[in-house]
Amino acid sequence: MRKYEPQSEEILSAGIDIGTSTTKIVISQFSLMNMAGGSHMPRIEIVNKKVIHRSPIYRTPLLNSTLINIQEVKNLVQKEYEMAGVTTREIKTGAVIITGETATKQNAEQMVHELSDHAGDFIVATAGPDLEGIIAAKGSGAFEYSKKTGEVIANIDIGGGTANVATYKSGKLLGTCTLHIGGRLIEYRDSCIKSISPPVKKLVGQWGDSVKEGDSRNSYEVKKITNYMADVIVRMLKRKLLPSDEALLLGHQPNWEEEIDSIMFSGGISECMYQHENVSASSEPYNDIGEMLALSLRENKELSNWKWVHPDETVRATVLGAGTQTTEISGATIQVDASALPIRNLPVFQVPLGFDIRSGLKDLDKAVQKAVEIYDPNRDGQNFALYFTEIPYLRFQEIQDFVKSILHSIKVKVAPNQLLVVVLESDHAKVLGQTLNVQNPEQSIICIDQIKVEHGDYIDIGHLLKTGVVPVVIKTLAFHH
């Protein structure tokens, strides 16, 4: 008798954002359902996402200017789980992201690994600036707005240390850009400037100005700096940054080609502009240029030429994106060794087959050799996932040849019998996984499909769910020391 397979399931997801200025936590509930008819292959999808708990906005706990207070962050997470009435065991997916200047702290990487063991069954990601902008655009509502309207919208997420910009059209990412623009780039103590960040010092050095620690917080020069930051955002949106603006550029130039129709602001600076949050008596004022920067943005005449779209979320955009938008669900017809799950922080090496299985497999041995050189240069057994794309329609014999080539190619690994993780763009995981099992019954295998990743991404694969799928979190691990 065919065993009963549940057609729906609910799982809990956590989003934790440890930013330059603030730390936030959200708990969400995902509903999974089989969207295929009874006679069709199962197609499990996330059909509903509901935020069930939002933490207060905490100041990010730091031991000093270079170290995160890891124990205090763990305490905050534990406290919020208790407030939400959930345990770490119940959290099945989600993401922790360390964003902005916090990702440059000396112990950021240690923080990631300790939280991954502490915060549930999900993977911990450190957002590089591009990923941070993408996640924020999903949490703010810009991504959905672009899908509904077809407009080109730029989401500008400005926090304590960076402005992360992601542009979308009709739900498709067009490009990103990150700037050293944020509220904590100049900080105050009482009525004086306490600290000025290196990018701002470099900028004012170009002008010959001498804004320095100890100056009055209300100086004309500080407003001149925030007005200039607003002008840089205008030029970045137009893709016309000046050489002098590059002091505030983090990474690459704006890399989209389309003209922007509308803009949306999220992040802590947009909270100064829109004031979504209920400010409690316990909240302390931020001694930085955040409110002045928000004023410069509101007053900038060129920015007002674009249509401003009101965000769904301001300061919580990134944490909501992390908690609700980073998880994908694998296909339902997959082959997994459940005892090997969950898997964390597995790098992905992409192998395009060019829609021609015969010529595509010719270079597979070389591709795996290259993956070993990149991900296991010290030959200490670091594993990686092989991500096959551009797969043509496969006949029986071609599947046999494909599997034979995979098993031959992994012999160059220092531990060829270690877990073999195969990720497929198209729906071939079950047949490929079963054929791998037949050709090498000793080989432990995870073979999943219907996942889109990028070369160089990392993936986390969660426990097998009752619906026969696995949650997958796709991320970058970029510790920019």
Q: Check residues 325 and 331 and name the one with the higher pLDDT.
A: 331
Query: What number is the average pLDDT over the span 42-61?
Result: 82
285 preceded by a cis bond (ω within 30 of 0): no
Query: What number is the average pLDDT over the span 171-182?
Result: 91
Q: Choose among 251, 202, 176, 180: nearest CA to 20.
A: 180
Q: How far apart, in whole angstroms, are the C-alpha atoms of residue 408 and residue 210?
A: 65
- Least confident window among 51-65, 125-139, 159-173, 344-358: 125-139
What are the angstrom distances between the C-alpha of 286 and each of 58, 72, 194, 329, 391? 12, 20, 13, 40, 53
pTM to 2 decimals? 0.73
Q: Is the pLDDT of residue 309 over 50?
A: yes
User: Mean pLDDT in the chain?
Assistant: 85
Q: Say what the pLDDT of residue 37 is.
A: 57
Q: Say what the pLDDT of residue 147 is.
A: 93
Q: Are 217 and 188 in contact (CB under 8 A)?
A: yes
Query: What number is the average pLDDT over the span 135-161?
Result: 93
Q: Is the pLDDT of residue 288 over 50?
A: yes
Q: Are 157 and 139 in contact (CB under 8 A)?
A: no
Query: What number is the average pLDDT over the span 260-285?
Result: 76
Confidence of residue 150 (pLDDT cuts 50, 70, 90): very high
Query: What number is the average pLDDT over the span 24-43?
Result: 73
Confidence of residue 124 (pLDDT cuts 50, 70, 90): low
Q: Are 173 and 142 in contact (CB under 8 A)?
A: no
Which among 198-202, 271-275, 300-304 has the top mean pLDDT?
A: 300-304
Q: Are 445 and 420 in contact (CB under 8 A)?
A: yes
Q: Check residues 178 and 469 and name the one with the higher pLDDT.
A: 178
Letter string b/e over residues 157-187, b meaning 16 or more CB atoms within 10 A of that residue's CB: bbbbbbbbbbbbbeeebbbbbbbbbbbbbbb
Q: Are 204 and 221 in contact (CB under 8 A)?
A: yes
Pairing between β-strand 186-189 and β-strand 91-98 as defined by DSSP bridges: unpaired
Q: Say what the pLDDT of residue 280 is.
A: 42
Q: Are 420 and 446 in contact (CB under 8 A)?
A: yes
> Got the DSSP string for 306-345?
SEEPPPS-STTHHHHHHHHSSEEE--SS-EE-GGG--EEE
Q: Is the pLDDT of residue 394 over 80?
A: yes
**Which positions ≥6 away from 217 have C-beta within 8 Å?**
188, 191, 192, 193
- Least confident window among 45-49, 219-223, 279-283, 371-375: 279-283
- Least confident window among 88-102, 218-232, 274-288: 274-288
Q: Is the pLDDT of residue 428 over 90?
A: no
Q: Check residues 89 and 158 and name the one with the higher pLDDT.
A: 158
> Got the DSSP string for 45-73?
EEEEEEEEEE---EEPPEEETTEE-HHHH
Confidence of residue 1 (pLDDT cuts 50, 70, 90): very low
Collapsing DSSP to helix, strand or coil, 352 comes out as: strand
> Got the DSSP string for 125-143?
-B--HHHHHHHHHHHHTHH
Place of tokens 């200039």: 228
Q: How far apart, in whole angstroms, are the C-alpha atoms of residue 59 and residue 18?
A: 9
AA letter at 140: S
Q: How far apart, in whole angstroms, are the C-alpha atoms of residue 398 and residue 355?
A: 12
Q: Check residues 265 and 473 and name the one with the higher pLDDT.
A: 265
Residue 439 phi/psi, 5° resolution? -75, -30
